Amino acid sequence: MKTRSLILSLFLSFALLLQAQIKIASVLGDNMVLQRNTEVKIWGTSIPNDKLTISTGWDKAKINTVSNEKGQWMVKVKTMNAGGPYNILVSNAKQNITLKNILLGEVWLCSGQSNMEMPMLGFSDSPINEANDLLMDADNNNIRLFTVKKASMTAPQDTCEGDWTMANAESVGKFSAVGYLYARQLQRKLNVPVGMICSSWGGSRIEAWINKDYMSKFPEPLRFTTQEKTPAHHKASQLYNGMINPIKNFVIKGALWYQGESNRNEYQYYAGLMSGLIENWRNDFGIGQFPFYFVQIAPYAYNNSKDILSGKFCDEQLKASLAIPNCGMVSTIDLGEEKNIHPAEKEIVAKRLVYWAVSETYGIKGIAYKNPYFKTAIAKDSTMFVSFENAALGLSSYGKELSNFEIAGEDKVFYPAKAVITAKQVKVSAPEVKKPIAIRYGYCNFPEGKGFLYNCAGLPVPSFRSDDWEK
């Protein structure tokens, strides 16, 4: 009898100890980077009405709080300039939990589908250019990485799985190549710690990353993403629930996005969906109109290199970039691979994203970062003269013959055209077209040839068309 009472007493004591346990939010942990020079959130759970104290190593401040009736607690903590390592202590009457080796610096979220998820080690039959050399140079304690484990959920979650790791060959090899290479270049430029959170899922649709309230605003043709047989990473709101909602209290500087291949067939909705996603995230992260930079999908055959579906989709991406505040796009028209949807050249993609960040977000002058894009096409006799925005110093094909231009007359038939750079314009003509009325450039799934058009900063002109004949 005494033995049974002792066992019961020990069990109750253990249960009370478990009940009193402080839990820190899953995205907070050892080795993380917190956004510098702002106010960040530290949060978690405990028993209801528990009195807690949070102490930060950088300013020795002690903040007292009390958990609510559900045991949830959150405090806001002021951060200072870049530096560290520091510790954070969270304690109550029975426990002390220490988060160790924390740096203050710049924090970016990267998300999307497989071209963002693609790690430095690559995918099967899909390598990253110079991966081994980049991994040899990966050791950097001022770069910290967190990958959100894939989770498709029917309801918003408060927790996710993942750990903060310091950059080395092993951790970088498993991390998003675009995300890491962006961090690597940004860290070198700013000389401050950089933290990257990667929340991505190959093959996912954009609808899966938008919460339920925002998705309810979109038209009926997109409602198939709520059907029972829809794949988990396509279902509306479910990746938001499992992979964005748990991290929305983590203060970031901005977000990177590389997605779209899975939405090509419904291209006409994409600009609106992007606007909805960005508004949704900015609202839920609660830090204002943070910068959002994204990558235009790269050329790929999709079983028919000449089909113009990708051109239509890229139009929507460009439209979104020009319409959404504090948003920028990089083109990859010159980086695609006809037979591989995962192009190997990820370092150039990351560089083009960094150009946007250092210029627009960090205010560093002198770096060109905006893609040149189609402005006007004026016909004179049998020739069209095409001009572009963001090409003040002129245009270049780096000495190669320009390819991928087409023009059409009143019969609306497009013919391959000869294109020549003249001053700050491109002169385009084709012997079959005596009176051109429309022009296209790279307007297909996979533009052939290597004679792409750039501004003098080496940024490519995205695909475009002047006509609207095929909706």
CA 38 from centre of chain: 22
Residue 433's Cβ-count burial label (10 Å; 0-12, 13-18, 19+) is: buried
Look at residue 204 in the predicted model and tell me its pLDDT: 98
pTM, entire model = 0.94
Pick from 156, 233, 166: nearest CA to 193: 166
Look at residue 14 in the predicted model and tell me its pLDDT: 47
- pLDDT single digits (tens) 183-206: 999 999 999 999 999 999 999 999
Look at residue 421 in the predicted model and tell me its pLDDT: 97
- pLDDT single digits (tens) 221-265: 677 788 888 999 999 999 999 999 999 999 999 999 999 999 999
Tokens for 405, please give them: 């231009």
Give strand pairing partners of 422.
425
Instruction: Tell me the C-alpha distance between 361 and 287, whole Å.
Output: 14
Tokens for 341, please give them: 């949807």
Q: What is the mean pLDDT of the chain?
A: 94
Kindly list the domain boundaries of the chain, sorted by start residue: 18-103, 105-361, 373-465
Quote the CATH superfamily of domain 105-361.
SGNH hydrolase (3.40.50.1110)
Look at residue 61 in the predicted model and tell me its pLDDT: 83
User: Which H helix or E strand runs over 416?
Assistant: strand 414-416
Spans in the chain with pLDDT lower than 50: 1, 6, 8-17
Given 3.40.50.2030, 3.30.300.30, 2.60.40.10, 1.10.10.10, which CATH number is that of 18-103? 2.60.40.10
Look at residue 16 in the predicted model and tell me its pLDDT: 47
Look at residue 3 in the predicted model and tell me its pLDDT: 53
CA 259 from centre of chain: 8
Q: How many residues does the chain have?
A: 471
**What is the b/e burial string over 219-243, where b = at least 16 CB atoms within 10 angstroms of the residue's CB?**
eeebeebeeeebebbbbbbbbbbbb
Tokens for 421, please give them: 């750079």
